[in-house]
Chain A
């Protein structure tokens, strides 16, 4: 399909894994279909940057918590986007109030809970439609 032999493809993938270009393979799960009450939240965090290290050291302090699924430095009115997963709302709230908000240079946090996911990683969840074409056409 790619105009390469199977060995060439295996070789290229191995190289990309070696170089850290391909980091991980994972499944994309539609949690709506799973009987589970996991909650996700995005917490917008404003922080005081530190001389010489900027945001990196505080970012490290935050991303090391296992609850943190993703962490981005943002432009705009706040600094860090922290994506957190918890068993329920209380668990997330506990993390924010006891761990995140209490870090020295954190000025403020605003927590947004995810209500429904429509599209993730470029995939429309539940977006499959039946084919509508005729079976034979010129």
Chain B
């Protein structure tokens, strides 16, 4: 007998749409990639040096489950200085292995089977699986380019039912780069209070906003007790491989998360925690320099994509643009596959982030200016060639 050892829940999980593209690209040379969701900078030297120093000093052991108190203090101070809110480092902060772990812990902490979590789509690839793995049911609300990919609060209210437990936000957004407006955040907060919901806010790109200061929904009236903030060091300090993040919020939820964390992860790596302390305390200049660099690239890529005929609005945050490829007549998957085959440029189909991403592709501008320029030239050629073919076949018909 061939017993099936893999659980049906796992079998029913859709494979990540990004994975397929990764496999396609892996066999090709000379690919210019705008498909990478991580900084092209190496972690600032100051941070790497602090980690080396901690190793030299012999910091190679477990930390408390919740993370080094020194790091929690630094996180608390960071929040106080930047957002004007004080979280108690002893009870309201947990250090995790990236935002990914924090999200998983949180879903498992709050969901009972059948509970629903509402999220705007397109959204980051792990949101829905994380909810499903915790026994919950993801409910997605499509957002559109016409609405600037903002979450429509009337749609949100319609999606709420008696099983709704939480709303999951990501601002700035991966893949669209959209930053939710203060107005939108205030409306969501009002709805959360009205229906007694938690708001989970993934703020991993909060330091990468280019027009004005970042506002967290945690700052909205009534949200101190309802918002669970997830953040980390990967994007702000180019520390993706260090796997270090944190969650802030009400004591009961953080306590619950810590319970799972202590049995599954025990603690985040001490070297990464030591590095994170240095990042928060002493890397303002490095952080600002990277942000400025991204901002220049953002303007370059948006202008370039519009010039070659792919409609692209100016995103306010993260390092992604989400141009429409509808003008080419190709669907997102075909566009990406053909672009890769014909011009060796890797971008990610919008459908990898949910079905409402159809007609769009995600381009990351965490790439050098030269790479972006080269990619734009190739995309321009691709659009021109494929539009011509379309016209020709149109005439022939």
Q: Which residues of A does B touch, CB under 8 Å?
A: 1-3, 129, 131, 133-138
B80 interface hit (Cβ, 8 Å)? no
Bound-state CA distance A118–B151 (Å) is 51
Chain B residue numbers with a CB within 8 Å of A135 are: 22, 25-26, 31, 33, 35-36, 346
A65 to chain B, nearest CB (A): 38
Q: Binary interface profile of B, 38-72, with partner A (CB < 8 Å = 1, else 0)?
A: 10101000000000000000000000000000000
Q: Binary interface profile of B, 17-40, with partner A (CB < 8 Å = 1, else 0)?
A: 010011001100001010111101
Bound-state CA distance A138–B122 (Å) is 13
Pick from B26, B36, B42, B299: contact of A137, CB below 8 A: B36
| B33 and A136 within 8 A (CB) | yes
- Which of under 10, 10 to 19, 20 to 34, or 35 or more describes the interface residues of B? 20 to 34
Chain A residue numbers with a CB within 8 Å of B300 are: 1
Chain B residue numbers with a CB within 8 Å of A138 are: 16, 18, 37, 124-126, 174, 352
| A2 and B299 within 8 A (CB) | yes
Interface of B, secondary structure class, is mixed
B296 interface hit (Cβ, 8 Å)? yes
Q: Closest chain B residue to A2 by CB distance?
A: B296
Bound-state CA distance A3–B22 (Å) is 34
| A1 and B18 within 8 A (CB) | no
B77 to chain A, nearest CB (A): 30
Q: Closest chain A residue to B296 by CB distance?
A: A1
Pick from A1, A3, A133, A136: contact of B40, CB below 8 A: A133
Chain A residue numbers with a CB within 8 Å of B126 are: 138
| A133 and B36 within 8 A (CB) | yes
6 CB < 8 A contacts A-B: A2-B296, A129-B42, A136-B36, A136-B348, A137-B35, A138-B174
Bound-state CA distance A138–B17 (Å) is 9
Chain B residue numbers with a CB within 8 Å of A2 are: 296, 299
Pick from A1, A3, A129, A136: contact of B25, CB below 8 A: A136
A34 to chain B, nearest CB (A): 25
A9 to chain B, nearest CB (A): 12
A133-B21 contact given A1-B300, A138-B16, A138-B125, CB 8 Å threshold: no
Chain B residue numbers with a CB within 8 Å of A1 are: 296-297, 299-300, 369
Chain A residue numbers with a CB within 8 Å of B26 are: 135
Q: Closest chain B residue to A4 by CB distance?
A: B299
Chain B residue numbers with a CB within 8 Å of A134 are: 22, 36
B34 to chain A, nearest CB (A): 10
**Can you add 15 more A-B contacts, CB < 8 Å, to A133-B36, A136-B21, A137-B22?**
A1-B296, A1-B300, A2-B296, A129-B42, A134-B22, A135-B35, A135-B36, A135-B346, A136-B348, A137-B18, A137-B35, A137-B36, A137-B37, A138-B18, A138-B37
Q: Closest chain B residue to A133 by CB distance?
A: B36
